[in-house]
Amino acid sequence: MTALLFFTILAILGGLITYKTGQRDMWLMLGLSFPLGFGYITIVSFIFDLLHVPITIISGTVAILIGIAGLIFNQKDDIVNHNFNPQACLKSVVHFFKNYWGSLFIIGIIAYLLLGISTKAILWPTAAYDSIEGFDFVAKVISQEHVLRNSLFDISYPLASVRAPYPPLVPINFAYAYMAGMEYPKIISVLFIISTFFIMFGLAKDISKNLFIGLILAFILMSTPEYLAMSALSLTNVPTALYAGFGLIFIYRFVNTSKRTDFYLGLILLTLGMWTRTEVIIFSIVAILILGLWSYKNKKYKETIVLTGLIFGSYIIWKLYVDLVLQAQMQQSLNFLPFYDGQKISDILNLVKFVTFSTQYYGWVVYLFLGFGVTLLLPKNRMANVNLYIIIIITWILYVILYYQMDNVDANGNLIPNYITAGYRRGFFSFLPLITYFIASSAPIILTSEWINKKL
């Protein structure tokens, strides 16, 4: 009961934050409510820790209620008088079932999938090695000791593995699940999966202007075998995929539409991504680059400066906290200087090729990306879509380079395959929303949708 109440008010807060950004799409608000709520409680708990305020379910609840009150007060006129209209939401649901009853089969399949994976996540305790040695252990100790700088990081008896000082978004939210009385914290993973579905549906439907196409694309994303299977484990990759993938999508949308809501959402999601896993820096750098080009073209530099400041600020704050307060070793060491190792390049590329093109892992998604890429040659295609294709490929190249720059070789100088077959394999999840969004915005989808909509 405590957990239900806690996460309900957290979602309300996240919904209000989404509303504050100017986003009014019901599905996007639904999808973003938990991820933004999780982000809020993470930042607040981090501040609590700095101020020596205990992280408890009561302090967390008070912080959420203050946030809700503040946001309602701030937007009260808008909510009461203007835009917020529950009747319109209900009307759109009725409209959906009236005009799209043919989607019921796919809705049934999606429900079957989501319910199945949620059941698996909720019924089984944490068993993933990384989680036991890392974030779940940290969460467990936070829930007992009510501080982030807890006994795991006691330098006289250190229990913190290299995974323990991961950015705190996942451990803190897991800790709240424990403190709310849940036996396992994997409800958080479930909420991330469901959120991912709603966001993808909201975006795909918005760009294709067809609810059925939106559903099909969200279904293709959700049913990616490795992604959905990993969703049931308490790993950080599924939340990272949401923050990094959708963050970059919103920034991309902003440079195309100049809608402030897209900028705010991209900014928030990428920043929260940095509080989830530092590898989000790759997606953030690409976002900064495309925003920088937009700034240069439009002579508006504020957005790029704010995004850059928040991304690198988040990284620096957490790095300083780990070094100075926790005094722990921060995950993977990177070689920042360029170097050449032909054998390593060959080993990485071979494994990357094997993993990326494995239909066992990603189903048809990568092949759909390549197939729809061919349609870029169609004369009716849009330039913006070509840009998105290039952005995804550049991000992917940078992501592979990240693995090359990592200190991931054994004593004999050979690549440790696990970095690619496990790390890269799960890290690729962040590309799934980008690929699905690209498909949604591709010419065949847009033209089909326009043809159907014209007749309706």
Partner 1 sequence: MAKDKNRGYKKKPKGNNKTEQSTYKAKKTNKRFAYWRLLVNIGYLVFSGILFYCMITYNPGYDWLFNSLIKNTYKSKEQVLTITTDQKLESKLGFDAKYLLFLKSKTPEEAIILMPPPEIITRKRDGGLFSNDSAYAGNLYWASYFVYPRKLVYEGNESIYSDQITHVAIINKWGYQYAPNVPEDQHQEYSVINL
Coil, strand, or helix at residue 151?
A: helix
Which range in 71-79, 134-142, 197-205, 377-385 contacts partner 1 by CB under 8 A?
134-142
- The two three-digit tokens of residue 15, written as one number: 């919904």
User: Is residue 22 close enough to count as binding partner 1 by CB under 8 A?
Assistant: no
Q: Which of 81, 87, 156, 412 binds partner 1 (CB under 8 A)?
A: 156
C-alpha angle 61/66/68, rounded to 5°?
95
With respect to partner 1, which residue has the nearer C-beta, 116 or 309?
116
Distances from the Cα of 205 to the Cα of 24, 197, 300, 450, angstroms:
14, 12, 30, 12
DSSP 442: S
Q: Which of 225, 292, 417, 444 binds partner 1 (CB under 8 A)?
A: 225
With respect to partner 1, which residue has the nearer C-beta, 213 or 269?
213
Q: Which of 84, 124, 296, 301 binds partner 1 (CB under 8 A)?
A: 124
User: Is residue 112 close enough to count as binding partner 1 by CB under 8 A?
Assistant: yes
DSSP string for 68-102: HHHHHHHTHHIIIIIS--HHHHHHHHHHHHHH-GG
User: Is residue 206 close enough to count as binding partner 1 by CB under 8 A?
Assistant: no
Positions in 329-388 near partner 1 (CB under 8 A):
358-364
With respect to partner 1, which residue has the nearer C-beta, 229 or 320?
229
Q: Which of 22, 68, 206, 212 binds partner 1 (CB under 8 A)?
A: 212
Which range in 88-96, 125-133, 278-286, 374-382 contacts partner 1 by CB under 8 A?
125-133
- Quote the CA–CA distance of 79 and 4 in Å, as a whole number: 25
- The two three-digit tokens of residue 116, written as one number: 């199945």
Query: Which of 38, 261, 338 is closest to 167 using CA atoms?
Result: 38
Which range in 59-67, 129-137, 274-282, 380-388 contacts partner 1 by CB under 8 A?
129-137
With respect to partner 1, which residue has the nearer C-beta, 324 or 456?
456
User: Is residue 90 close enough to count as binding partner 1 by CB under 8 A?
Assistant: no
- Please state the closest distance from residue 47 (CB atom) to partner 1, in A: 26
| Centroid of chain to Cα 176 | 19
User: Is residue 54 close enough to count as binding partner 1 by CB under 8 A?
Assistant: no
User: Is residue 96 close enough to count as binding partner 1 by CB under 8 A?
Assistant: no
In this structure, the chain runs to a length of 456
User: Is residue 97 close enough to count as binding partner 1 by CB under 8 A?
Assistant: no
Query: Which of 325, 124, 353 is closest to 234 using CA atoms?
Result: 124
C-alpha angle 301/385/250, rounded to 5°?
45
Neighbour count for residue 297 (Cβ, 10 Å): 9
Neighbour count for residue 281 (Cβ, 10 Å): 20
DSSP 233: S
- Positions in the binding site for partner 1 (CB under 8 A): 99-106, 109, 112-113, 116-117, 119-120, 123-125, 127, 129, 132-133, 136-137, 140-141, 144, 151, 156-157, 159-161, 164, 183-184, 212, 216, 223, 225-226, 228-229, 358-364, 452, 455-456
